[in-house]
Chains A and B, each alone.
Chain A
Amino acid sequence: MGDMTIRLAGYSRRIAWRPWRLAGLSLLTCVVIALVSLACGRVWLPPGEWLAGLKRGEGAIWLIVTQLRLPRVVLAAEVGGALALSGWILQQVLRNPLASPDTLGLSGGASAAVVAYLALAAGQGGAWVRPVAAIAGALLVVASVYALALRGGRVTPYRLILIGVGMGALAGAVVTLMLIVGRAELASSAYVWLVGSVYGANRADAVTLGGLLALVLLFGVPLIRYALLAPLDDALAAGIGVSVPASRLALIGVASLLAGLAIAWGGAMAFVGLFAPHLARRWVAVSGSAQALAAVAIGASVVMSADLVGRTLFLPLDLPAGIFVAAVGAPFFIGLLIRETRTS
């Protein structure tokens, strides 16, 4: 199928099908992984069997599939997808392949804020405090990183990353401090969350996070067209009528909200926001909404798979998904750094 062009009065758009086909394919993979996740666990439940269990509306199979596995799979997908989209937006806007919630210190900021809340307020502030703290921490760090990296009105990629890594280390120090001053028992519970885990997810978690992410996307999706123009030269973008600073700021804000929300529910899940957009870029070469969608699908697939491995490989132990995400992500990051230094 060739490309398609839509021309209406006041709206014209060329649609290339290939990127969308590829994005569709990654979405399909995502769905397959979700189905496998629903079938795997302490007991293997082939689709036919769990469908039958669903129809009955009660019993252990129904409980396991609808109350235990489904919310967990959905939450994993939401967390992974949100972090991946956050990373994709940051990489576009900052024109930097190394940008991600992790490398910009955004994850660190969110984690530090949440751990500080757990340590100082003993987590007594109601369900909304945790996400608000995570988002506030993320925004604070991203704002200070950007402000510190700004020199002569320009931000160079490596300066940004270096300062981001520095801020990340600072946030790490805050986390350590909070774990020491906090109650003795805080460490064990905070640690699992810091690594990134969707253990114990219930329907309310999945629905709340889904709703909030949808709300952010409602504002974020119309901004994606600016993200597509961001890799252009600032002057060129300004020339075709984009308010560069405003759109950049808005997009970074959206990326921080996405990452903050994801981290509030699922923990940091190191490097998903870095390598999911990269895989998407390699898979869907044309940068566009299709690529963003592919990034979301890949991010969701990675966290769902990591959680699947974490909860099945070492039964009855239930390990945090973040361990397995990091096990794939960290080598990828190192490889990327090596490649970047070679090319630059």
Chain B
Amino acid sequence: MSWTKDNANTACGRVLLPVVAARNRADSGHIGAFRAGRRRTLGLVALGAALISLPGVAARRSVRVVTLFQGATDTVVALGITPVGVVESWQDKPIYPYLRQALAGVTLLGLETQPSLEDVALLDPDVIVASSFRHARIAPLLSQLGRLVMLDDIYRYRRTLSVTAAALGCEHSAMDWEIRLKTRIRALRQRLQRHFDGAWPISVSLLDVRANEVRSYLAGSFGGSVLRSLGFRWNPIQAGVGGVSLRLTGVEHLSSIDADVFFVMLHGDSAAVRRHYRELRAHPIWQRMSAPRRGAVVAVDPVAWSLSGGILGVMHMLDDIEGWLDDTTRRA
């Protein structure tokens, strides 16, 4: 293999800190007063190190990354870097439970749709990971606040991983994840094949039940793309639909989401959503569909299956699918 552990450890998530830059950073006390003391200490240590060493010899410090969408936060944590600022999560606010430990004490920047730009400026980031889907309008401002890494979409986790890793010099770590992902997916695909035997590939619907609509995430979506890579298929109606999701605002079209297995996420933990789900399950059309008849309606965690948008979320998804297979095997 072309990379070594040593190489990966020094380059990933670290920026070169030349002597001049170190001095400037320590001098910018004006803004330093607003910042955590740790930062200034770091700067001084770096300055000291730079002064002791020969002129021109560079010191390294951790890269300061700000992530402006959930998938970027997940990915940066996966790469072993603690971001200096992140946006609030969509549920279980302000940070998804699976990231809480890694992100303890990290600055919160408000909503993913409207992050607080002044907070970003004060963090003085080296790299900002954003998405043009959410942040096209503020891109000109963001690029003035730090080196801007723009992903087109927020749900293409592999692209998020490779682009973010390239920006942070963490290609090796990203490669590790890619290999781990491929290995797990291959193993799980074989297991699914064995499990369902002649029935494989079975059809799937990944449903997001909201208060007044149901969304079915298709093969192009975050969760859908993982299911597709495992070999699941969608029924012909859904396979023919373009886009990321299918929105059903009534029960008339419920049959268009029919599949052998339903993975169901409840959107937020509100009474309205639970009532809607109860009504759905009581509906004759729902009860006539394939998955409910087979008892293959599986409740899954929307954080991992949809909201996380990153490689760590995908790993949780694979865990869940393995757990579901274990369960069905045990029952059979």
Task: Please report A residues at the B interface, Cβ cutoff 8 Å.
Answer: 41-43, 52-53, 59-61, 63-64, 67-69, 180, 183-185, 188-189, 192, 197, 199-200, 202, 204, 311, 315-318
B292 CB, nearest partner CB in chain A, Å: 25
Cβ–Cβ contact A192 & B114, under 8 A? yes
Cβ–Cβ contact B113 & A42, under 8 A? no
Contact with A along B62-103 (1 / 0, CB 8 A): 000000000000000000000000000000000000000000
B117 CB, nearest partner CB in chain A, Å: 5
Cross-chain pairs A/B with CB under 8 angstroms, 24 sampled: A41-B118, A42-B118, A52-B30, A59-B30, A60-B28, A60-B124, A61-B31, A63-B121, A67-B141, A68-B117, A184-B244, A189-B134, A197-B114, A199-B138, A200-B114, A202-B140, A202-B141, A204-B140, A316-B109, A317-B110, A317-B114, A318-B111, A318-B116, A318-B117
Query: How far apart are the CA atoms of A317 and B133 in the complex, in Å?
Result: 20
Assuming A60-B31, A316-B110, is B141 touching A43 (CB within 8 A)?
no
B108 at the interface (CB under 8 A from A): yes
Query: How far apart are the CA atoms of A318 and B247 in the complex, in Å?
Result: 29
Interface residues of B in 122-154 (CB under 8 A from A): 122, 124, 133-134, 137-138, 140-141, 144-145
B105 at the interface (CB under 8 A from A): no
A272 CB, nearest partner CB in chain B, Å: 21
Cβ–Cβ contact B108 & A316, under 8 A? yes
Cβ–Cβ contact A185 & B119, under 8 A? no
B225 at the interface (CB under 8 A from A): no
B263 CB, nearest partner CB in chain A, Å: 18
Assuming A59-B30, A63-B144, A316-B109, is B114 touching A68 (CB within 8 A)?
no
Cβ–Cβ contact B110 & A318, under 8 A? yes
Query: How far apart are the CA atoms of A254 and B114 in the complex, in Å?
Result: 33
Indicate the size class of the contact surface on chain B.
20 to 34
Apart from A63-B121, A315-B116, A318-B111, what 8 extra A-B contacts exist at CB < 8 Å? A42-B118, A183-B243, A184-B245, A199-B138, A200-B137, A204-B140, A317-B111, A318-B114
B105 CB, nearest partner CB in chain A, Å: 15
A residues within 8 A CB of B144? 63, 67
B residues within 8 A CB of A317? 110-111, 114, 116
B196 at the interface (CB under 8 A from A): no
Cβ–Cβ contact A63 & B145, under 8 A? yes
B248 CB, nearest partner CB in chain A, Å: 11
Interface residues of B in 35-80 (CB under 8 A from A): none
B245 CB, nearest partner CB in chain A, Å: 6
B residues within 8 A CB of A204? 140
A residues within 8 A CB of B141? 67-68, 200, 202
B residues within 8 A CB of A185? 133
Cβ–Cβ contact B113 & A188, under 8 A? yes
B137 CB, nearest partner CB in chain A, Å: 5
Query: Top 4 nearest A-B pairs by Cβ distance?
Result: A42-B118, A316-B110, A200-B138, A316-B116
Query: How far apart are the CA atoms of A278 and B110 in the complex, in Å?
Result: 36
B residues within 8 A CB of A43? 34, 118, 122
B249 at the interface (CB under 8 A from A): yes
Interface centre among B30, B121, B144, B145 (most CB of A within 10 A): B121
B172 at the interface (CB under 8 A from A): no
Contact with A along B173-200 (1 / 0, CB 8 A): 0000000000000000000000000000
B233 at the interface (CB under 8 A from A): no
A residues within 8 A CB of B249? 180
Cβ–Cβ contact A53 & B116, under 8 A? no
B residues within 8 A CB of A184? 215, 244-245, 247
Cβ–Cβ contact B34 & A53, under 8 A? no
A residues within 8 A CB of B117? 68, 200, 318
Q: Give the residue name and chain of the A residue nearest to B87 (CB).
A: A316
Interface residues of B in 204-251 (CB under 8 A from A): 215, 243-245, 247, 249
CB contact between B30 and one of A53, A200, A316 (< 8 Å): that residue: A53
B residues within 8 A CB of A188? 113
Interface residues of B in 10-43 (CB under 8 A from A): 28, 30-31, 34
A107 CB, nearest partner CB in chain B, Å: 21
A residues within 8 A CB of B138? 199-200, 202
B261 CB, nearest partner CB in chain A, Å: 23
Q: Give the residue name and chain of the B residue nearest to A204 (CB).
A: B140
A86 CB, nearest partner CB in chain B, Å: 24
Cβ–Cβ contact A42 & B119, under 8 A? yes
Interface centre among B28, B117, B124, B144 (most CB of A within 10 A): B117
B residues within 8 A CB of A202? 138, 140-141
B residues within 8 A CB of A318? 110-111, 114-117
A248 CB, nearest partner CB in chain B, Å: 37
B residues within 8 A CB of A69? 118
B residues within 8 A CB of A67? 141, 144
Query: How far apart are the CA atoms of A200 and B141 in the complex, in Å?
Result: 7
Assuming A184-B247, A318-B111, is B121 touching A64 (CB within 8 A)?
yes
B residues within 8 A CB of A61? 30-31
Q: Give the residue name and chain of the A residue nearest to B135 (CB).
A: A200
B residues within 8 A CB of A200? 114, 117, 137-138, 141
Cβ–Cβ contact B121 & A68, under 8 A? yes
A residues within 8 A CB of B116? 42, 311, 315-318
